Amino acid sequence: MLSFVIGGRGAGFGAGGAAAALGLPAAPEAAAGAAPAGSAGLAGGTGTRFGFAGGTGTRFGAAMAPPYGSPFGQQALRRSAPSVPSAARVGAVTDTQAPEASAPIEFRSDVVVELVRSSAHDSDVLFAARVSTQGEQTLEEAQHDPAVTEKRDRGLINYLMRDRHGSPFEHNSMTFYVQAPIFVFREFMRHRIASYNEESGRYREMRPVFYVPGADRNLVQVGKPGAYDFVPGEPEMTALVDEEARAVCTQAYQAYQRMLAAGIAREVARIVLPLNLYSSMYVTMNARALMNFLSLRTKRQDSHFPSFPQREIEMVAEKMESLWEELMPLTAGAFGANGRVAP
Ligand SMILES: Cc1cc2nc3c(=O)[nH]c(=O)nc-3n(C[C@H](O)[C@H](O)[C@H](O)COP(=O)(O)OP(=O)(O)OC[C@H]3O[C@@H](n4cnc5c(N)ncnc54)[C@H](O)[C@@H]3O)c2cc1C
């Protein structure tokens, strides 16, 4: 990861009072009623980027009951932070919050994906599919019948995937926390079969954290649109991208600050901020929608329908897939074995 802090004073994002940084009020009323600005924010948020609960690298309550959980397994909630509705947990930043004129500008090259909560097991797929033939007995059978072997379960899931019987893959839910540049969110939110809540640039001051491509990011496009590839650039190209991005972001953020200091509303001042500004969101999906997302937002040789996504959304997709594979290994395996075609 490339991470720099320039200008300003002290530690960057998430340090000290920045626990309130991730103001995500569900509505203005929620912001007004939750907690005072500056003291609100997510549990354990200090010292982490965006002041997010538990910090990066914490896996919140991935349900892992062996072998693949109980049917409609008990909802697995965060282990390291209290389970409270997100509108309350994310704290509040009111319209009266003072701008932080000297916040240091940070440049990063990573994305963050955390599994916040889930109720997602291969057994959820199995019992939903078996209701076709077994009716109400299916839940009990899936829990207790010793004849329900992994081989049989694997075969059924593979059959459903291969023949694109998709609805059994909908009886589950995963909520992810994502930090990524806004240009990634623009692409992400085209996926309509999902639920989203993103931090607000109207209710809180945007933090000066910007994306710059890492040194390993391919820069040069080759091939034709629709089937192109990207190859490394010259070192001078990497330096140019880095230099230009930093200059523009610094200038833009300073302009943003000048407008805030002059009393201009956040929703107006933010118009000068570039798309590589980091944002954060919760997204909730079921496995069927996730597979559709993964099929389109990852580039794999073994895909039946190759896709050519922007690398930065692919970085998010890869992390989501890793988390999902742990929850639903048979489903994830069948997805891969059948050409990564969403059922
Ligand atoms: C490599 C790549 C390049 C892209 N380039 C562009 C671009 O240049 N311009 C652009 O505008 N977009 C672009 N997109 C976005 C793309 O067109 C889709 O909007 C996006 O991938 C979401 O896919 P989806 O509709 O399958 O997902 P979701 O919205 O999650 O939908 C999932 C599935 O539900 C069904 N569904 C959802 N809504 C409807 C509906 N209203 N009617 C019927 N069925 C529905 C469909 O089966 C759909 O596949 C690009 C996407 C990719 C992956």
Of all protein residues, whose CA lies closest to atom 4 belonging to ligand 1?
Answer: 309
pLDDT tens for 100-151 read 556 799 999 999 999 999 999 999 999 899 887 665 555 555 566 655 568 8
Identify whether 246 is part of a domain. Answer: yes
Query: Domain range spanning residue 38?
Result: 3-60+73-114+176-320
pLDDT tens for 264-294 read 999 999 999 999 999 999 999 999 999 999 9
Non-local CB neighbours of 268 within 8 Å, separated by 6+ positions:
259
Distance 320 CA to ligand 1 centre (A): 18
Distance 334 CA to ligand 1 centre (A): 23
Please give the tally of structural domains in the chain.
Answer: 1
* Pocket-forming residues, ligand 1, beta carbon under 6 Å: 190-193, 289, 292, 296-297, 307-309
| Residue of 221, 292, 307, 312 with the most ligand 1 atoms within 8 Å of its CB, for mutation | 292
Distance 191 CA to ligand 1 centre (A): 6
Give pLDDT, residue 62: 34
Structure tokens belonging to residue 216: 């390993």
Identify whether 132 is part of a domain. Answer: no
How far, in Å, CA of 263 to CA of 98, rounded? Answer: 10
* Helical spans, DSSP H, in 214-304: 235-261, 266-269, 287-297
Identify whether 139 is part of a domain. Answer: no
Identify whether 127 is part of a domain. Answer: no
How far, in Å, CA of 169 to CA of 91, rounded? Answer: 33
How far, in Å, CA of 104 to CA of 331, rounded? Answer: 44
| E strands in 150-290 | 173-181, 195-198, 209-211, 220-222, 229-231, 278-285
Average pLDDT for residues 247-276, to the nearest whole number? 97
Give pLDDT, residue 150: 81
Average pLDDT for residues 234-254, to the nearest whole number? 96
Q: What is the pTM of this model?
A: 0.75
Identify whether 32 is part of a domain. Answer: yes
Non-local CB neighbours of 150 within 8 Å, separated by 6+ positions:
67, 330
The pLDDT of residue 36 is above 70: no
Residues taking part in catalysis: 297
Residue 3 pLDDT class (50, 70, 90 cuts): very low
User: Does residue 282 contact residue 177 with C-beta atoms inside 8 Å?
Assistant: yes
To the nearest whole number, what is the mean pLDDT of the chain?
Answer: 75
Point out the least confidently predicted range of 89-98, 188-197, 294-303: 89-98
In three state form, how does the secondary structure of 296-340 look? HHCCCCCCCCCCCCCHHHHHHHHHHHHHHHHHCHHHHHHHHHCCC
Identify whether 202 is part of a domain. Answer: yes
pLDDT tens for 171-200 read 999 999 999 999 999 999 999 999 999 999
Identify whether 226 is part of a domain. Answer: yes
Question: What is the maximum span of the chain, computed from C-alpha positions, in angstroms?
Answer: 71
Identify whether 188 is part of a domain. Answer: yes
Give pLDDT, residue 135: 56
Q: Which of 45-49, 73-77, 162-166, 300-304 has the highest mean pLDDT?
A: 162-166
The pLDDT of residue 168 is above 70: yes
Assign residue 211 the CATH number of its domain: 3.30.1360
Structure tokens belonging to residue 180: 């990524």
Distance 300 CA to ligand 1 centre (A): 19
- Ligand 1 nearest-atom number relative to CA 296: 53
Non-local CB neighbours of 56 within 8 Å, separated by 6+ positions:
48, 49, 112, 114
Of all protein residues, whose CA lies closest to atom 53 belonging to ligand 1?
Answer: 296
Give pLDDT, residue 128: 94
Amino acid identity, position 169: F
